[in-house]
Amino acid sequence: MSPFFLGLDLGGTNVKAGVVNEQGGILAQVSVPTGSSPADLSAERVIGRIIEAGFQAMDKAGVGRRKMVAVGVLSPGQSSLERGIVFRSANLPLWRNVALRQRVSRGLGLRAVLENDANAAAYGEWWAGAGSKTAGPRLNDLFLFTLGTGVGGGLVYEGKVVRGSFGFAAEPGHWIMIPGGEPCGCGQHGCLERYCSAKYTAQRANQRLVRSRTLRQRSTLGAVFEKAGSVTSADIVVHAKSGDVFALEIWDETCRLLALACINVCHMIDPQMIVLAGGMSQAGRFLVDRVNHHFKAHWWKMTRPTARIVLARLGNDAGVIGAAGVAKDAAERGVLPGVGE
Ligand SMILES: [Zn+2]
């Protein structure tokens, strides 16, 4: 009997549940709204929906609970992955110290793990995404950057998710890239996220557009800025692609720092693959080609570049597959807590 895993992706808008097989393929998945109003987003109600979605996914897949090995749940906010508790969540303001792993586990009658979305995405890409699409034996080591509003990361090393001694491993968003640089919300200065997230890439452009009338007239982003009051990272990509010099300059600054971060990853763990995921990776080759260009240009002269930098492949399924994947990983390592623990 081949084993199955349940992946639960708890987002601000939807709860997704998927039954995933041993190869990382989704047999069936369901998506239900997380809640309709702030009061509807209490831990009690949302957890009820998560459990319901889990049972629906199993029904749809025709896989009974006895064939399920474990469930992986993605944490929606600040949490202790080890203890299974979500302290607070920006999307779920009513949540305080919720024992999410224990409650979902009890409700479904399955052993469960709690994981953050970047770690899960890294495992998912290693298991069933970019890392699984290579010729020859499976990769051992893969690092993943999530490039969205913030910059996150996940590391699979020798086929296992690396969480670190205190759960803070693989946090590239707060690597200090520019000594004495821009202040970051975390309290440090010059963090990668402060330059390379979608939010700060856009903010850098907006600050320069505010300051210079000449720039607003010279750049095609000027018209967007005048009309909308600000530009987004998606605007920057569109205008850079069509050759606007200013948009290209901003985009290139982001890609260059990301490339330097990739070089640092290589000198730390020497992975076979670095995956770029998250909203900004929708820029596709326009992102990965520029990052690769700077990666090669700044790489040391001792050896040729080793790691391949590629785009994520799982897209919207990354959450469900990654969550199921970390449950499988925990089962293989023999570290699954008991039901309700
Ligand atoms: Zn920071």
Q: How far apart are CA 50 and CA 56, in angstroms?
A: 10
3-class DSSP assignment, residue 32: strand
Surrounding ion ligand 1 within 5 Å at CB are 174, 184, 186, 188, 191
- Give residue 164's identity as a one-letter amino acid code: G
Alpha-carbon gap, residue 182 to 190, rounded angstroms: 5
What's the confidence (pLDDT) of residue 41? 94
- Measured distance CA(5)–CA(90) in Å, rounded: 28
Q: How far is the CA of 38 from the centre of ligand 1 (A)?
A: 29
Long-range residue pairs from 207-214, CB within 8 A, at least 24 positions apart, any chain: 208/246, 208/250
Q: How far is the CA of 309 from the centre of ligand 1 (A)?
A: 24
CA of 185 to the centre of ligand 1 (A): 6
Distance, CA of 181 to CA of 50 (rounded, Å): 42
- Please tell me the total number of residues recorded for the chain in this structure: 341
Q: What is the pTM of this model?
A: 0.94
pLDDT tens per residue, the chain (341 residues)?
Answer: 689 999 999 988 999 999 999 999 999 999 999 998 888 999 999 999 999 999 999 999 999 999 999 999 999 889 999 999 999 998 899 999 999 999 999 999 999 999 999 999 999 999 999 998 776 677 899 999 999 989 999 999 999 999 888 888 999 999 999 999 999 999 999 999 999 999 999 999 999 999 999 999 999 999 999 999 999 999 999 999 999 999 999 999 999 999 999 999 999 999 999 999 999 999 999 999 999 999 999 999 999 999 999 999 999 999 999 999 999 999 999 999 999 99
**Ligand 1 mean position, distance from CA 34 (Å):** 29
- C-alpha 281/C-alpha 133 separation (Å) is 18
**Residue 1 has what pLDDT?**
63
| Cβ proximity of 226 and 260 under 8 Å | no
Tell me, in angstroms, the distance from the centre of ligand 1 to residue 171's CA. 9
How much distance in Å is there from the Cα of 210 to the middle of ligand 1? Answer: 25
Cβ contact 23:33 at 8 Å: no
231 beta partners: none
- CA torsion, points 328, 117, 279, 229, in degrees to nearest 10? 170
Centre of ligand 1 from the C-alpha of residue 110, in Å: 37
Query: Which backbone phi and psi does 20 adopt, to 5 degrees?
Result: -125, 140
Is residue 76 classed as helix, strand or coil in its secondary structure?
coil
